[in-house]
Amino acid sequence: MRFSIVLVALAGCSTAPASTASRLDANDDTAPVPFCVFDTMAPTVAAGALSYAERPPHTDCVPPEPGEVFSLGFATDGWWLQFDAPRSAFTVGVEQPIVLGAASLLAVRGEASCFDWSGSFVVTADLPAWSIFVDATCVSDGLRVIGQFNAGER
């Protein structure tokens, strides 16, 4: 008899470690604390907040963590993005161009994906109360990404 073991790893799972799953907003002991608030204007219009207790359908966010790279992953109906910038390559509060080597953006919508962008980003706050605004256009096909993402109120 043969047995197989299959391991599956999921990024951005909807379950949280026990230490964070029960965190509550200090102003309302019943409201979950968001870990990612989003407001996108392109490629789709969407706004909302994700917490460990509540998540909009078909939406996920992997917020930045400590380390050398400011990294954000976000997905909602029909598209997703991955943004990465070395923390040494930007100044908080200063608009920066999306330039290869200084920042990278990957966005996928349907079958189309883009790595080459014109546009800019502003990290308006870094950890723990992170916030970023992205306004970029794909050089090859004109796909547009415009959105504000942040940690929510802390």
pLDDT digits (tens, 9 = 90+) for 19-51: 333 333 445 556 678 999 999 999 999 999 999
Q: Are 41 and 145 in contact (CB under 8 A)?
A: no
Spatial CA neighbour of 43 closest among 85, 78, 71: 78
pLDDT at 15: 33
- Identity of the residue numbered 116: D
Instruction: Report the distance separating Cα 134 and Cα 119, nearest Å.
Output: 8
* 121 burial type by CB count under 10 A (0-12 exposed, 13-18 middle, 19+ buried): buried
Contacts 24+ apart (CB under 8 A), 16-23: 16/52, 20/52, 21/52, 21/53, 23/52
Spatial CA neighbour of 149 closest among 102, 111, 105: 105
What pTM does this model have? 0.77
* Per-residue pLDDT tens over the stretch 45-68: 999 999 988 888 889 999 999 999
Q: In the chain, pLDDT over 90 holds for what percent of residues?
A: 66
pLDDT at 33: 86
pLDDT at 19: 32
Average pLDDT over residues 116-120: 95
